[in-house]
Chain A
């Protein structure tokens, strides 16, 4: 009988580097947890046990011979199955991609995590082609919420949320185009970082919407989130959008405290379409940060609409050939959205791209007078699996279309966000801590301060 993870990544790495625990033992413990609990969570689509043990032995050998190991020595981690993993076809949640040849090289971010000593233990379930907010998958079955397996994990990085929320691994990687890191973080009660657009390399990951795709980490503590993020930073010529900025480590900065940071609550769009639990979560975070100022993010609803248009049309462009050749092999819900996306007139897409630049300039002005914005991550706690609608203010609304309503206007202009989990009963819910471009350090500082105050925390999984 195994128990969910009790150690943070930082604690595992310290124990492994100090030879109080072997990397192999840490890896075997993760593999045992996966074996024990993944039948419920359905987080993993591939478990790379042989590779993981070989990698762990290499870390142990390096330590035994006195070689310097990285800050993630022996830390097990897993990746959404749109990351290339050498030897596996990169399925990206689809049936069609399983016919691809096995990847010949790992994604850049896996290489960087392993260079820091981490040990890849597998690939994770996700919504088909990342066009999803639920974590449900018609081919592999849904990933299930670790606090209540009858509920959604959120998506599209659903397996990442389940694996970290369920304590199978301390760190997972995922992608976020419109909210796919932030939504599962909220529903599964964990920390998630969607960095600035262009900060982390996307090389050798399966794309969705090139101008909106981000990769980032999930963890059960802010320190672990920062450790993983620092390990993955740096320019990469294999991703055209990856910044040439030098590595800017945040781990030494997160404990600097709130200082004189100007923290405001996002108003307007971000205070509408909320269930009471989301209002409560934002209120708790704002109170802890002594934040009372409410600022309007100009035209945020229209920004969400523009993100929707760009997503559906760029997504359709990506999949046009597959739609023609293998329409029966798609999840019907994804296929029908992509067909529709292919028919949106180009003039309207161009308008959305022009609006995007206008909106980015207005939000940049806003960040001249504030350093941090607080906003809900999701309108509600995790809905039931298969739930199609919810009733809000007496109006029945579709679940799928509205889960990401508060995340989309933020990723639309690439702002860095840390989602912090507020451990409400019966289920946790996340709050977005949003900073100006390239200021992940500020968002993480605020998240760390909230964690120290005990306002936010990743609750133990109650569904296992």
Chain B
């Protein structure tokens, strides 16, 4: 069976970021990453104009 691209991504990212993720933890890291990416996709799908400014420091 071919390796899942998301598993490959987790392995590569954990090495690039020096994150010591043990094999036993991988399934839950994957579940959480899937949720995070699903949430991010919802935001990504929303059309924003090119001049949209981010709000990294939020002012109410």
Q: Are A357 and B33 in contact (CB under 8 A)?
A: no
Residues of chain A within 8 A of B43, CB atoms compared: 302, 305-306, 309, 348, 351-352, 355
Residue of A nearest to B16 (CB): A343
Q: Are A413 and B48 in contact (CB under 8 A)?
A: no
CA distance A345 to B43 in the complex (A): 13
Residues of chain B within 8 A of A251, CB atoms compared: none
CA distance A288 to B33 in the complex (A): 43
Q: Are A339 and B60 in contact (CB under 8 A)?
A: no
Residue-by-residue, is A331-367 near B (CB-CB < 8 Å gives 1, otherwise 0)? 0110111011111110011111111111010000000
Main secondary structure of the interface of A (DSSP, over half): helix
Residues of chain A within 8 A of B4, CB atoms compared: none
The one of B32, B46, B58 that contacts A339, using a Cβ cutoff of 8 Å: B32
**Any B CB within 8 A of the CB of A323:** yes
**Any B CB within 8 A of the CB of A438:** yes
Residue-by-residue, is A33-46 near B (CB-CB < 8 Å gives 1, otherwise 0)? 00000000000000
Q: Are B40 and A305 in contact (CB under 8 A)?
A: yes
CA distance A323 to B48 in the complex (A): 34
Report the count of interface residues on B (CB-CB < 8 A).
Answer: 36
Q: Are A332 and B19 in contact (CB under 8 A)?
A: no
Residue of A nearest to B12 (CB): A343
CA distance A241 to B55 in the complex (A): 13
CA distance A248 to B40 in the complex (A): 38
Interface residues of A toward B: which range? 35 or more
Q: Are B60 and A437 in contact (CB under 8 A)?
A: yes
Residue of B nearest to A333 (CB): B28
**Any A CB within 8 A of the CB of B1:** no
**Any B CB within 8 A of the CB of A225:** no
**Any B CB within 8 A of the CB of A48:** no
CA distance A38 to B54 in the complex (A): 45
Q: Are A342 and B17 in contact (CB under 8 A)?
A: yes
Q: A324-B18, A355-B46 are in contact. Are A348 and B58 (CB under 8 A)?
A: no
Residue-by-residue, is B9-31 near A (CB-CB < 8 Å gives 1, otherwise 0)? 11001100111111001001111
CA distance A354 to B54 in the complex (A): 4
Q: Are A241 and B57 in contact (CB under 8 A)?
A: yes
Distance of A436 from chain B, by nearest CB (Å): 9
Residue of B nearest to A211 (CB): B58
The one of B19, B48, B57 that contacts A358, using a Cβ cutoff of 8 Å: B48
Q: Are A197 and B32 in contact (CB under 8 A)?
A: no
Q: Are A211 and B28 in contact (CB under 8 A)?
A: no
What are 26 inter-chain pairs, A to B, with CB distance below 8 A?
Answer: A196-B60, A197-B58, A197-B59, A198-B59, A211-B57, A301-B42, A302-B42, A309-B36, A309-B43, A323-B19, A324-B19, A324-B20, A327-B20, A333-B28, A336-B25, A339-B14, A340-B32, A343-B10, A343-B14, A344-B33, A354-B54, A356-B54, A356-B55, A356-B58, A357-B54, A415-B60
Q: What 6 A-B pairs are tightest by C-beta distance, nearest first?
A: A340-B32, A353-B54, A414-B60, A340-B33, A437-B60, A348-B40
